[in-house]
Amino acid sequence: MIQKTETDSESLRPGKMTYEEFLAWSDEDTHAEWIAGEVIFLSPASSRHQAIMAFFASIFQHFIEAHPSGIVRIVPFQMKTGAHLSGREPDILFIANDHLDRLKETYLDGPADLVIEIVSPESGVRDRECKFNEYERGRVCEYWVIDYTRKEAGFFILGEDSFFRAVDAAQGIYRSAVIGGLWINVNWLWQEPLPPLMSVLKEWGLLETQAAS
């Protein structure tokens, strides 16, 4: 990958660039998105934001190891859902086995099957409106918006009409539409500290499965 220097960053940051130029310019330490040819740098994540992201990454990874259905990627990893759409950096994304051909070395060329965005104090409009509309247009199958400050979780499924529809978490339990058998108790996300991995695996029945194997 091309390493950007301080001079490179200053010279490229004010101007426009193609998505290909953006991918070549950025590196593993770049926390930015590509929007209409502009590089938009993102604010550092809070400790709580990082904790929830790590929680999702951990429980998802263990579930998928027990029920192989795809792969998980976490920020920073780019996703570009369409030729005329932005290059975004979702907090968590899941790509089903049937769509692994979309996975490139440094970005996902096409929509993830599931995207999770964790709302920070400065990202509410971006996550609930801008990304919501882009992910809908880009045909992301399932979108979760987790707002730990408000203790709100929104779950959206892409319908046959190509529009997101909200899905309720019945009695606080949400079951993924694209990862068969995966469910979460929404109240887990508001606990301080977050539930230990082993307790979630036990509720999922995975500890017994792993012991038997």
What are the chain's domains?
1-41 (no CATH), 46-212 (3.90.1570.10)
Helix ranges (DSSP H) in the chain: 6-12, 19-25, 47-66, 124-125, 131-137, 197-204, 206-212
pLDDT (tens digit per residue) in 133-161 = 999 999 999 999 999 999 999 999 999 99
Q: Which residues of the chain register pLDDT less than 50? A: 1-12, 14, 211
pLDDT for 206 equals: 94
Q: Nearest CA to 12 among 3, 28, 31, 25?
A: 25
pLDDT for 210 equals: 53
pLDDT for 1 equals: 35
pLDDT for 209 equals: 53
| Identity of the residue numbered 152 | E
